[in-house]
A = this chain, B = another copy of it.
């Protein structure tokens, strides 16, 4: 048995997802060592509010933040990334990106990902912004730097989408997809078809912590559009960004549409979809659609998400997430970490 490989991680962003990832990583230490020969340490944390903290011996993770935060001049993120690159002698240097996303521009996540590559570090992120706005250029930069760029958590949390296609569907050509990938709107449409008003449904989602206080990104369809762009970029090489997705959110008038659909034996769902036409052009949309009851997507209730892939050799196949929680998002990052442990340099499979 060879000696364990050491992985040094810096966490850029330390909110709910980053904290749950840190605790899940702690719980998974014995299994990571036993199964993958990987010895992981968190050596740095950067947050907007508390600045940067870095220690090659590992930072102490207090329950509600870095144990002793050192407010830093300049960008805390760039600081810990640079320190990881310069001060760590680990076999694997990994930036874990979980900052709050500006969905209109994909920032600051894109800058953090790019800084990671420039410093020669692998980058894993739970943010959809980098993949939705800049997949092809980031992918090229990662390849040039000889590092991995992984983002399983960008869509449907830790349920494998990108890993499914990359690792288990060799030689398959994907021509399109359709899915339900936004939980807030799915919850609301389910409530509205049962008779609740738009306002009441939204208020209840916010009270239950399902929707954000500012739920406009969900309701206006931006979250679904960003996920659609991310999926289209990776699975269909679309090279688009979210504004190119034909986007229709849900409004008060959808309460009546949802009830009418139900009365007709249909279900109203916010469907994210994209397809490549014969000329190779990809068109993408995220909009409410009345689906026949027999459609797999029609049956998804509440937090359930699903993605149907249209393939050449397997016809239509689907993967579904029946529950969602913070642990699932944190697991996405953990699975990306294992992907790097198994294959620090990409090989074999083609660029998707």
Contacts and interface: CB of A to CB of B under 8 A. Distances in A.
Interface of A: 24, 28, 31-32, 34-36, 157-160, 163-164, 167-172, 293-294, 296, 298-299, 301, 304, 306, 308, 313-325, 327-328, 331, 334-335, 338, 341-342, 348-350
Closest 8 CB pairs of A and B: A315-B323, A160-B168, A170-B338, A316-B322, A318-B320, A163-B168, A167-B167, A313-B331
Contacts of A319: 317-320
A301 B308 contact: no
Contacts of A316: 322-323
Nearest to A301: B294
A173 B177 CA distance: 29
A315 B320 contact: no
Given A31-B171, A169-B335, A348 B36 contact: yes
A157 B293 CA distance: 26
Contact of A314 (B158, B308, B318): B158
Nearest to A28: B171
Nearest to A162: B168
B315 A328 contact: yes
B348 A331 contact: no
A280 to B, nearest CB: 18
A299 B294 contact: yes
Given A314-B321, A335-B168, A348 B35 contact: yes
Nearest to A170: B338
Nearest to A313: B331
A311 to B, nearest CB: 9
Given A296-B299, A296-B322, A314-B328, 20 more contacts: A24-B313, A34-B350, A35-B171, A36-B170, A160-B169, A168-B168, A168-B335, A171-B335, A172-B331, A293-B299, A296-B304, A313-B327, A314-B323, A314-B331, A315-B321, A315-B322, A315-B324, A315-B328, A318-B322, A319-B320
Nearest to A320: B318
Contacts of A324: 315
Nearest to A38: B348
A164 to B, nearest CB: 6
A328 to B, nearest CB: 6
A349 B35 contact: yes
B170 A167 contact: no
Contacts of A293: 299
A304 B295 CA distance: 11
